[in-house]
Amino acid sequence: MKNTFNRRQALKNIALGTGAIGFGSVLSSFSVPEFSEEKKSDRPKNNINHSVCRWTFPDVPLDKLAADCAAIGIKAIDLLRPSEWDTVEKHGLKCSMATDDFASIEHGFNDPENHKELQKKYKELIEKASKQGIKNVICFSGNRRGMDEETGIKNCAEGLIPLLDYAKERNVVLVMELLNSKVNHPDYMCDHTEWGVALAKETGRDNFKLLYDIYHMQVMEGDVIATIRKYHPYINHYHTAGVPGRNEIDETQELFYPAIMKAIVETGFDGYVAQEFVPTAENKFNSLEEAIRICDV
């Protein structure tokens, strides 16, 4: 059976210091393999900057996850809060995408009533990220709630532009994630690449970019490689997962990730590709290691 555990619940569980099941039982059942010297030397080719989303391993202490990721050549961990940044950095990893508890998928910049509070909280997060040397901060459009596309673009731009100017002075990029509204995030507005690109043009700021989630955009629009080639100047981050199901990116699903990764490399991309699949294998870290191998083109 496919795992339907979602990011929203996982992030809540991590914030509370718990997992989807009892923490003690998880630690006793979850086993990460020891890596031989030969394995440690089998490093990625460095054409892709590999990362992994923290929320997909909610039951693994971050300190352990960071250490084991570093051992197989992963360079960063995605979607970390400020309190978590130092933990990964002590293992030589970066936070590749910053977030915090206030960042809401459903309640975003398309609603002007959210602007004042979001601007206040995002300024605080941008300032922290800048001081830590973290470049990327995630943001969301919010749900439509009957709003038309053009109004959503104008509202988002209005709320984002003051923050983008603030972030520009601090060498920070605000990155809006493209998510599917068909399966995982009903009613989400930024659910097509062209909408995100239109918003980027409306802001007129080069430190507003898109997080192209390959799983989500395959669900919504397909044509992944052609879209990446066409719109890559607007993209500074990628997420992965298998389709359908959001699980492993192996031969059980419909996307051929080596070709997608080659297309990304050919655009000259130098950002991060973060694994965001929900592992179903008994040894979840083996699934992550295999995903890195698949994407290491």
Mean pLDDT of the chain: 90
Is the model more confident about 30 or about 98?
A: 98
Provide the pairing of β-strand 49-53 with 94-98.
unpaired
Q: What is the pLDDT of residues 256-269, one digit of tens each?
A: 999 999 999 999 99
Instruction: Copy the structure tokens of residue 39.
Output: 């394995």
Query: Shortest CA distance to 213 belongs to which of 230, 183, 191?
Result: 191
Task: Write down the pTM of the prediction.
Answer: 0.87
Which residues contact residue 282 at a Cβ distance below 8 angstroms, ignoring those fewer than 6 apart? none
**What is the rounded CA–CA span in Å between residue 173 and residue 187?**
25
Say if residue 182's pLDDT is above 50: yes
Question: Is 248 in contact with 277 (CB distance < 8 Å)?
Answer: yes
Q: Maximum CA pair distance of the chain?
A: 57
Q: What is the pLDDT of residues 118-160, one digit of tens each?
A: 999 999 999 999 999 999 999 999 999 999 999 999 999 999 9
* Per-residue confidence band for 26, with pLDDT thresholds at 50, 70 and 90: very low
Three-state DSSP class for 205?
Answer: coil
**What is the rounded CA–CA span in Å between residue 204 and residue 135?**
19
Three-state DSSP class for 28?
Answer: helix
* Per-residue confidence band for 103, with pLDDT thresholds at 50, 70 and 90: very high
Three-state DSSP class for 183?
Answer: coil
Average of pLDDT values for 73-81? 98
Under CATH, domain 41-295 is a member of which superfamily?
Divalent-metal-dependent TIM barrel enzymes (3.20.20.150)
Amino acid at 96: S
* Per-residue confidence band for 44, with pLDDT thresholds at 50, 70 and 90: low
Q: What is the pLDDT of residues 209-241, one digit of tens each?
A: 999 999 999 999 999 999 999 999 999 999 999
* Per-residue confidence band for 45, with pLDDT thresholds at 50, 70 and 90: confident
**What is the rounded CA–CA span in Å between residue 150 and residue 195?**
9
Say if residue 38's pLDDT is above 90: no
Question: Is 197 in contact with 234 (CB distance < 8 Å)?
Answer: yes
**What is the rounded CA–CA span in Å between residue 21 and residue 13?**
10
**What is the rounded CA–CA span in Å between residue 191 and residue 193?**
7
State percent of the chain over pLDDT 90: 85
Task: Give the model's pLDDT for residue 6.
Answer: 62
What are the extents of the domains in the chain? 41-295
Average of pLDDT values for 42-50? 83
